[in-house]
Amino acid sequence: MTDQAPALPATKAVSGARAAKWLLVALGVIFLVAYPAWNDAYSVASLRDVLIFGLFALSLDYFWGKTGILSFGHATFFGLGAYGMGVISIKLGLDPANASLLGLLGGILLAMLVALVVGYFLIFGGVRGAYLTIVTLALTLIAQHIAIGWSDVTGGDSGLIGVPPLTVAGFVFFDPVHQYLLVLAVALTILGGLWWICRGRYGRILAAIEDNELKARTLGHNTPLHLLVVFVASAGIAALAGALYVTGTGFVAPDMIGLMLSTEVIMWVAVGGRGTLIGPFIGAFVVWRLQQEISSLDTRLWPLFIGLFFIAMVFLFPNGVLSLVERAKELSRRWRGAA
Partner 1 sequence: MTQFVPVLLNALTLISILMLVALGLAVIFGLMNIINLAHGEFVTIGAYTLALTQAMGGNYWLALAVAPFVGAALGLTVEWTMVRHLYRRPLAVILATWGLGMVLQQGLQIIFGAAPQRVAGPLSGAVEIFGAPYPAYRLLLIGFAIAIVLACYAGFRWTRFGLDLRAVIQDRDMAAALGIDTGRVYSLAFALGAAIAAVAGVLIAPLTVVIAQMGINYLARSFFVVIVGGVGGIGGVAAGSAVVGGTESLLNYQVPVTVSQALVLVLAIVIVRFRPRGLVPL
Please report, as ranges, the residues that interact with partner 1 according to CB under 8 A: 70, 72, 118, 121-122, 124-127, 129-131, 133-135, 137-139, 141-142, 145-146, 148-150, 259, 263, 266, 270, 300, 303-304, 306-315, 318
**Rounded least distance, CB 167 to partner 1, Å:** 33
Kindly list the distances between the CA atom of residue 102 and the CA atoms of 1, 110, 166, 183, 236, in Å, as whole numbers in the listed order: 38, 12, 10, 18, 15
Contacts of 62 (CB under 8 A, 6+ apart): 194, 198, 230, 233, 234, 237, 277
Tell me whether residue 100 or residue 276 sits nearer to partner 1 (CB atom). Answer: 276
CB atoms within 10 A of CB 312: 11
* 85 Ramachandran zone, left/alpha/beta (phi>0; psi -120 to 50): alpha
Tell me whether residue 47 or residue 261 sits nearer to partner 1 (CB atom). Answer: 261
Kindly list the distances between the CA atom of residue 24 and the CA atoms of 2, 21, 180, in Å, as whole numbers in the listed order: 18, 5, 21
**Rounded least distance, CB 250 to partner 1, Å:** 26
Tell me whether residue 118 or residue 187 sits nearer to partner 1 (CB atom). Answer: 118
**Rounded least distance, CB 111 to partner 1, Å:** 16
Tell me whether residue 87 or residue 184 sits nearer to partner 1 (CB atom). Answer: 87
**Rounded least distance, CB 34 to partner 1, Å:** 38
**Rounded least distance, CB 283 to partner 1, Å:** 15
Query: 308 — phi, psi (to 5°)?
Result: -65, -35
- Counting runs of H as helices and runs of E as strands, what totals does the chain give? 15, 4
Tell me whether residue 1 or residue 138 sits nearer to partner 1 (CB atom). Answer: 138
**Rounded least distance, CB 33 to partner 1, Å:** 36
Q: Is the distance from CB of 237 to CB of 189 less than 8 angstroms?
A: no
Tell me whether residue 128 or residue 178 sits nearer to partner 1 (CB atom). Answer: 128
Q: Is the distance from CB of 320 to CB of 270 less than 8 angstroms?
A: yes
118: amino acid identity, one letter: V
Q: Is the distance from CB of 267 to CB of 283 less than 8 angstroms?
A: yes
Length of the chain: 339
**CA atoms lying within 13 Å on the CB side of residue 269:** 26
Q: Is the distance from CB of 240 to CB of 182 less than 8 angstroms?
A: no
Tell me whether residue 191 or residue 290 sits nearer to partner 1 (CB atom). Answer: 290
Query: What is the Cα 236 distance to its own chain's centre?
Result: 11
**Rounded least distance, CB 322 to partner 1, Å:** 17
**Rounded least distance, CB 92 to partner 1, Å:** 22
Tell me whether residue 50 or residue 266 sits nearer to partner 1 (CB atom). Answer: 266
